[in-house]
Amino acid sequence: MDILNGVRTSPMSRLQIRAVAVAIALMLIDGMDVAVAAYAAPVLSKSWSLDPVTLGFLLSSGLMGMAAGSLFLTPFSDKIGRRRMMLVALVLVSAGMVLFASDVVQLMAYRVLAGLGIGGMIANLNVYVSECSSDERRGSIFGLYTAGFAIGATLGWRFLPESLDYLISKRPQNALSRLNVILAQMRRPALGELPELSRNHQTHNGIKTLLTGRMAAQTVLLWLGYGLMIAAYYFASTWTPKLIATSSGGDTLGVTLGVVVNLGGIMGCFIFSIRAVFLRSRHLLLGSLLASAMVYAIFGMAFNQTSVAITIGAVPGVVTSANVAGFYATTPSLFPAALRGTGIGWMVGIGRLVSIVSPILVGYPSTKTTPAQPAPVKVA
């Protein structure tokens, strides 16, 4: 459509840049949730005398909530709007993070609640950033956006306008006036009426449309590929501190390597962002996926050798962050505008479901070799 094509082929306005910047900052919530759980795992394991299987379920509890949020909350962004859905999700995240847990069962429940909000927000943000970005800068923006997983911070929701794609494709109440307000902030002329819907923006019949016809194969392959990729990442990010702590005999070293992996993630995002200026995001994604397969195989064989593991510890973070940025940059435009929230929400949700299995499966073989020992109780 003319208005959307004009926005996407023109230099980004201050409003677009500001909206993307806030979205980048919000990625901190997802990164903090995963990182804090991983860093706390060795201490919680000792303090609460958790066996590896229970620890695996604890590490996966947040992912369970994220999967549910992505699958069942994000699709509402196609009905009530991207911005409103993010506000609802933020309330859930805040509730799950401020509640105090006195035992492992309560902690699992609160992490599920926080994960529910994170899942509903992050998948929605992926769609939002794609729709706010220009075609020329989308790959680079998603490189920076993925970096927000580790370095962002919540700035404030009043800086987030509604998505133009949502207003045009779904046409909620007062859509024209809301659209013109945003266009004025972008210094574009107001519209006298809503533009005619193209076939890509017409209303579809929910998830059923994504799983019928030629779109079905594309949808399933996207979901499967993202799921396998993100499962490898969550295995590395959640269990690495614990595995290194066990092999080295020191919790501090495990936390250090966890930080190294996350620092590698930041590097990977910026590398992807810079290279996306010159190369297509789809080509970068293919290259990073092939590289990550080799890197994870090497890392899996070397983590027992502490010095080697630390030396290459940043590399899994580098390639995985590039993978995530690549998926986020390329996939939203593959779904119809009226179903982007549903399509990306289910992609991220299925990815979370697959990733839940990784921390749990690691715990079962660990019970044969590294049973948890009760920690001595210190009385002040």
SS3 for the chain is CHHHHHHHHCCCCHHHHHHHHHHHHHCHHHHHHHHHHHHHHHHHHHHCCCCHHHHHHHHHHHHHHHHHHHHHHHHHHHHHCHHHHHHHHHHHHHHHHHCCCCCHHHHHHHHHHHHHHHHHHHHHHHHHHHHHCCCCCHHHHHHHHHHHHHHCCCCCHHHCCCCHHHHHHHCCCCHHHHHHHHHHHCCCCCCCCCCCCCHHHCCCCCHHHHCCCHHHHHHHHHHHHHHHHHHHHHHHHHHHHHHHHHHHCCHHHHHHHHHHHHHHHHHHHHHHHHHCCCCCHHHHHHHHHHHHHHHHHHHHHHCCCHHHHHHHCHHHHHHHHHHHHHHHHHCHHHCCHHHHHHHHHHHHHHHHHHHHHHHHHHHHHHHHHCCCCCCCCCCC
Give the C-alpha separation, 40 to 59, whole Å: 10
> Quick one: pLDDT at residue 265?
74
Percent of the chain whose pLDDT exceeds 90: 1
Please determine, for residue 8, whether its predicted confidence score (pLDDT) is greater than 80.
no
Please determine, for residue 141, whether its predicted confidence score (pLDDT) is greater than 50.
yes
Taking CA 202 as the corner, what is the angle to CA 209 and CA 335, rounded to the nearest 5 degrees? 50
Between residues 312 and 293, the one the model is more confident about: 293
What superfamily does domain 2-369 belong to in CATH? MFS general substrate transporter like domains (1.20.1250.20)
Between residues 194 and 371, the one the model is more confident about: 194
Taking only the tens place, the pLDDT of each residue in 255-268 is: 677 777 777 777 77
> Quick one: pLDDT at residue 148?
60
> Quick one: pLDDT at residue 205?
58
> Quick one: pLDDT at residue 374?
42
Between residues 333 and 307, the one the model is more confident about: 333
Taking CA 145 as the corner, what is the angle to CA 108 and CA 239, rounded to the nearest 5 degrees? 35
By the 8 A CB rule, do 261 and 316 touch? yes
What is the pLDDT averaged over residues 62-69?
Answer: 84
Does the global pTM surpass 0.75?
A: no
Give the C-alpha separation, 143 to 20, whole Å: 12
> Quick one: pLDDT at residue 156?
38
Confidence of residue 154 (pLDDT cuts 50, 70, 90): very low
| 137 phi/psi in degrees, rounded to 5 | -110, 5
